[in-house]
Structure 1
Amino acid sequence: VQRWFSILQEFNHEIQFIEGKSNQAADCLSRDTIEKKTQSLFIKQFDPLYELSICDQDRNGKYKVSDASINKIIKNLHYFLGHPGFSCLTNTVKPIIESKNLMTTVKKICQDCLVCKQVKHRTTDSNIYCGDLTRNGVGETFSTDIVGSFLIEPKPDDVRKVSILTVTGLCSRLTKIALTYDITASTITNAFSNILSSTFNPRSLLSDNGRQFTSKEFRSLLNNRNIQHLLSRPYNPQANSKSERINKSINEIMRISRFGIPSKDIVEWIENRLNLCYNRSINCTPFELFFSSNALNKNIILSNDLLNKSITTSQKNAEYDRNRINKNKNNFDIKIGDYIFVKAHRNQKQDLLFDGPFLVTTVDNKNNGIKNDSYGKSKWTNIRNTFIFKKGRIS
């Protein structure tokens, strides 16, 4: 509910109660054809216990299942038993069924089961990370994000709901923030414009696909300032990791500044934490790298080679982190023509975990991206949110 409420904030909306028989929107959603397609996967067509009972038995009492019947019986046992995995199903049927093709059939049934692909938890983030957000020019490329919402009470009984817009330099890590009382496109655009006017003049900006950043007002501001807009793929926070990483520090500050601290002081506190403290990635403070000065002691003389040393440190750290993360990961192995399942974004506990299978139509190896046909529409997805349907065809 909170997620939808935040999305609707930028619209001039009114919430009304509408009786079910008059609520066309709810009626339309209840007739969604996609849901019907998913439910059809659960229809049980045969009784496996009856199919087994008419089979002959060997001297140990095992059912002797013919090659012609083994596939149908195992498939329906798989449904009947609630879709167990390969190991569980194997150890369940092995003591009761005699068939030379038993293991092969069980493996194939479990691998090809569409229901199992949609409802079972599995790791999708098993592919090698690629890409690098390291930049060499101070003040050239920035990333932005919206954090929150948070509740603050600067004065007794004066409770306010706020969000925080962050703008971070990818080279210097210097961050400026703005506290906003809503996240409409116009509010975020104005806050971003104020940050640019006070500190930054970037050539390019990285953001997610949020409505605020893809709005007409925001894009117009970037065009007027000749700023190139780089958009990360949906549901891929790692593509904007610099902005995402500072959110942890912001959350810590907001936990201890909920009561009795004015908004202006909260902004200063957060910026001090982010800009005046040592940053491992650049081997100095962001303030030092951006302004060539130590904010806590102006008498400190900084190295003339600070930028080059910082870039070298940043590149080494990025390479170390990438190697550490990729140590046990696999190479990009999805190709055009493969079928994939895509991680579903759930609202309820019983919602399906994955959606699909979808046909892969385009592959972007450089950015770990794949384009797939999703219910008649081509849609980009990061490989991190998918797994391949190994069969490669739909039977």
Structure 2
Amino acid sequence: MGPLPNGEHLLVIVDYFSWYQEIKITRQITSADIIKMLTEIFSRLGNPATITADNGKQFCSAEFKQFCTARNIVLFHTIPYWPQQNGEVERQNRDILKRLKISQAEKGHWREGLEEFLVMCCTLPSTPHSVTGKSPAELFFKRQFRDKIPMIADINRQLENPDFRDRDQQKKQLGKEYTDKKRRAKECEIQPGDKVYLKNINKDNKLSLNYDPTPHTVEKNTGGDIEVRNDQTGQVLRRNIVHLKKVEGQWRILDNNKDEEISLEDKPSTSTGE
């Protein structure tokens, strides 16, 4: 569809069954450019069984026919000067053109208006198609897309395919155990309140220290996801446990009076006879 006032064209592709559509913006409409755009789409969605196109020279060229043959796609062409034969696409073109005119009248950016049109007409379950009663994306991908409005489907989706989810969880757990064993991973011994040093990720030179000598206090530990606070500046940082080194000489004792643990930075002195 085009050309638009800025010289660009829209390549509109509609799935006959679901009414799901893809739109590509291009300045060149040669067969090579069309093939490049279709290749990107088919790499995500797979090859269609058939393509029905108009009689534009880019669709009638030997290059485009060879592209369809190589992908086992049957190519049909509409009757010349009879666009009604490809009515689904023509209807979409009319709606798209209307949306572009609205964006121009409202002094908005037509690309953003086009994106809003696709979201509203193709993906949102709250705006089903008038013919099918479902959103095009739901019919095409066989799943319901999430809307910004909380839906009961969010709960139902968690209950779908329990066997698959259990198997997926089991495989992930086995993979984690194998990786932990290979890396000789140990249980996290760093607890909130501990003093740690942070690893220097970006060293200035070869003589730079492996760890920043500034002590940090551990604020939170969530499965190796550590939140620390710089003791000098108060800045809060987030690091993985592998980037931390516990300050040597820390001892944790139990204060019987307060019934809580106290962290000591220096090892308590001992002497003979005590």
Q: TM-score when scaled to structure 2?
A: 0.49
Looking at both structures, which has the greater relative contact order when contacts are Cα pairs under 8 Å and sequence separation is at least 6? 1
Q: TM-score when scaled to structure 1?
A: 0.35
